[in-house]
Every structure is written in structure tokens, then in C-alpha cells.
């Protein structure tokens, strides 16, 4: 019988260094690459690996995440049997940076009891990568290990764990006796009773945990070799489908080495930037090395360099904003930024 995998995505992660972008959303729902969200990568990887049952465990500010994923239709997870499941954490006070909280899982233990999949893959929600988990399952079953922790070729854990579902249930049930609070605790305990193996992944992978590496990872997408590793044709990254018109490039506008999503109106100059859906850029505006999120409005004669505009930001005519690659200038969602405010 074919071995089946259960997908478990821990979406409780929060990093203080991303606070400006997480005021109204969870990290899993952070926009990326113009039309995606961070969670799209791990969720699509699971679907491409043949996983048909995925449980997502969010903590706070998860309305945006649920709106994005909906019933799971865009990932072929809106099914009568198995499918996509949301289990918001009933526990407010726990460390969201420890992947695979047993206390969090325990509140939904019935889900694991009912699952028919022999194995489970437990992952974080904030890694940008493209991986098929099936070869890892084959490697794990041949190795005879109890737990396989996925490591990146550059060293260090990717905070992803493959384990038998029955053993996961046991770890959850015995958490008070063992003192293990999460998967991290188990694999890092040198005296644990389980054999822990490491599987090395040699592909492109970045864990988003700060504004700086969110910005740099986004800018790396403009390199064709990185794009090809993340978006191969045989393993697509799925996302929420939105029916919008093509972007309009007004006569006199200029776009170089940039990604432009649907529904935009470009009057000005865009260079080395990522522009999300529905953005309007006015005449004479210059946008360089920027991430502009959905439905932002940049009026005439603005100059933006190394700037991140969150959704629904309006930048008034003549405004000049500049940051650096190490410290991009961030404007929070729904803010109105005016020239007089920066003079």
C-alpha cells in the first residue's frame, strides 16, 4: 500500500523584526512575489507531493490567512474526504517560534486520531522554497529513523520534521510526563529515546524572519536562476486566483527588470521592483528597488528607492522616500504618506 503523508503547518510563528508588516496579518499571510502569500510555498509543496489532508494551526491575526486560503479550492483541497483544516490556537501564552507545539496540537487531538495517513510532515509557514516531500518519505522509511529533521545544505534546521502519525500522537499525549513542549525539544534532546536523522535539502530555501531578509529574498526573485528554482513548471506554486484585467502601461512609462502583477496602471518609471495587483503609479514617479503591495497609489513625481509599501498605502504627489537594502523604508498598511510630512 502506498504510504500516505499528513500535512501539518504551524502558522503560529511571529518575529518582532517583521512587526511593521504583521500588524494586520499573520506571518503565513505575508504577501510575496507580487501575487503570492508566504504560506503558498509550503502548502503547494505538500499538494505537489500528493498530500491530500493538510491542517493549519494559526495563532493570531489569521482573518487574512483564512480569506486567502478559503476552502482550499485553489490547491485542490476542497474535498469531501480529507482536505484543508483550520485549528486556531486556543492558547494565547505560548512561544510561537517553537515549531510543532504539542499543547496546541493537543487541543485538536481528535483530528490526529481520525487521520488515516501513516506519516506526518510538520513544517513552519514562513520558508520560501520548492520541495517534493515524497523522496524524503522514501528516505525516512528506508533509514529506520523515528524522526527525520530536514536540514538545509548551508547548515541548520529548516524546522520541518517527518514522523509517524502514531508517534506524534504519543508525543502529544505524554508531553506532561516527558516535558517535551514541541518538536524542537524532542530532536534537540540528546538523551531522548528516539532515533533522529537529518535529511539534507540542497535546493533554494530562505526562512523569512526579518524585514531585511524579506526584502533581500524578494529582490532575489528578479534573478532568473532564483525564479526558476522557486517556480519550476513541473511543481507550480498555487495561490488565490483573482480575475483582474492586464496591467496598463501608459505611453511614456518605463519598466526594467521588474515583476508587475495584474490590474496595475503604470505611468511612471519602475526599475528592479516588485509591484502587486491593482497598483497605480503616477506620471513622473520613479520607483527603484521597491516592494509595492496591493492597491497602493503613488501619485505624480514621487521618488521611491528601497521602500516597502504595505497594502492600500497612498503616497502623495512629490513625495521622496529612500531606504537601503539593509534597512528598507517601510510604510504600514493603509497609511497616507505626504510630501509635507517628509520635508
Residue 340: its pLDDT value, please?
47
Q: What is the pLDDT of residues 280-322, one digit of tens each?
A: 999 999 999 999 999 999 999 999 999 999 999 999 999 999 9
153: number of Cβ within 10 Å: 11
For residue 272, what are the CA distances in angstroms to 73, 256, 287, 321?
A: 33, 6, 8, 16
List of E strands, 133-272: 147-152, 157-164, 196-201, 205-207, 248-249, 254-256, 259-260, 265-266, 269-271
Q: What is the pLDDT of residues 217-226, one digit of tens each?
A: 999 999 999 9
Q: What is the C-alpha separation between 111 and 120, in angstroms, rounded? A: 12
135 alpha-carbon distance from chain centroid: 22
Higher pLDDT, residue 192 or 106 = 106
pTM of the predicted model as reported, rounded to 2 decimal places: 0.95
Q: For the chain, what are the domain ranges? A: 5-230, 248-342
Report the phi/psi class of residue 208: left, alpha or beta, with left for phi > 0 and alpha for psi in -120 to 50.
beta
Backbone phi and psi for residue 173, each to the nearest 5 degrees, phi listed first: -65, -30
Percentage of the chain lying above the pLDDT 70 cut: 96
Q: Which CATH architecture has domain 248-342?
A: 3 Solenoid (2.160)
Q: Residue 145, SS3?
A: coil
pLDDT value at 251 more than 90: yes
pLDDT 10s digits, 137-147: 999 999 999 99
| Domain 5-230 in this protein, CATH class | alpha beta
Paired sense of beta strands 274-275 and 291-292, if any: parallel
Amino acid at each position: 500500500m502506498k504510504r500516505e503523508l499528513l500535512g501539518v503547518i504551524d502558522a503560529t510563528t511571529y518575529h518582532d523584526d517583521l512587526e511593521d508588516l504583521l500588524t494586520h496579518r499573520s506571518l503565513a499571510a505575508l504577501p510575496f512575489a507580487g501575487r503570492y502569500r508566504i504560506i503558498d510555498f509550503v502548502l503547494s509543496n505538500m499538494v505537489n507531493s500528493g498530500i491530500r489532508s493538510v491542517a493549519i494551526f494559526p495563532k493570531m491575526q489569521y482573518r487574512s490567512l483564512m480569506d486567502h486560503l478559503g476552502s482550499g479550492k485553489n490547491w485542490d483541497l476542497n474535498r469531501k474526504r480529507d482536505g484543508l483544516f483550520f485549528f486556531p490556537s486556543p492558547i494565547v501564552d505560548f512561544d510561537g517560534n517553537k515549531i510543532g507545539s504539542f499543547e496546541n496540537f493537543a487541543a485538536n487531538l481528535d483530528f490526529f486520531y481520525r487521520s488515516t495517513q501513516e506519516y506526518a510532515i510538520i513544517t513552519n509557514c514562513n520558508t520560501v522554497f520548492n520541495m517534493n516531500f515524497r523522496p524524503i518519505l522514501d528516505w525516512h522509511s528506508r533509514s529506520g529513523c523515528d524522526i527525520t529533521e530536514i536540514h538545509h545544505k548551508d547548515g541548520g534546521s529548516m524546522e520541518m520534521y517527518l514522523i509517524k502519525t502514531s508517534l506524534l500522537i504519543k508525543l502529544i499525549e505524554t508531553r506532561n510526563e516527558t516535558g517535551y513542549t514541541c518538536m524542537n525539544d524532542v530532536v534537540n534532546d540528546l538523551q531522548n529515546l528516539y532515533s533522529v536523522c537529518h535529511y539534507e535539502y540542497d535546493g533554494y530555501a530562505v526562512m523569512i524572519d526579518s524585514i531585511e531578509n524579506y526584502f533581500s529574498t524578494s529582490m532575489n526573485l528578479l534573478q532568473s536562476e532564483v525564479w526558476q528554482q522557486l517556480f519550476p513548471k513541473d511543481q507550480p506554486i498555487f495561490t488565490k486566483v483573482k480575475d483582474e484585467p492586464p496591467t496598463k502601461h501608459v505611453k511614456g512609462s518605463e519598466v526594467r527588470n521588474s515583476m508587475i502583477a495584474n490590474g496595475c496602471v503604470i505611468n511612471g518609471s519602475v526599475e528592479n521592483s516588485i509591484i502587486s495587483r491593482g497598483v497605480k503609479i503616477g506620471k513622473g514617479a520613479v520607483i527603484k528597488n521597491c516592494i509595492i503591495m496591493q492597491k497602493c497609489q503613488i501619485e505624480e513625481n514621487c521618488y521611491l528607492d528601497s521602500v516597502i509599501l504595505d497594502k492600500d498605502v497612498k503616497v502623495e504627489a512629490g513625495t521622496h522616500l529612500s531606504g537601503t537594502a539593509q534597512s528598507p523604508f517601510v510604510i504600514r498598511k493603509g497609511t497616507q504618506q505626504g510630501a509635507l510630512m517628509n520635508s
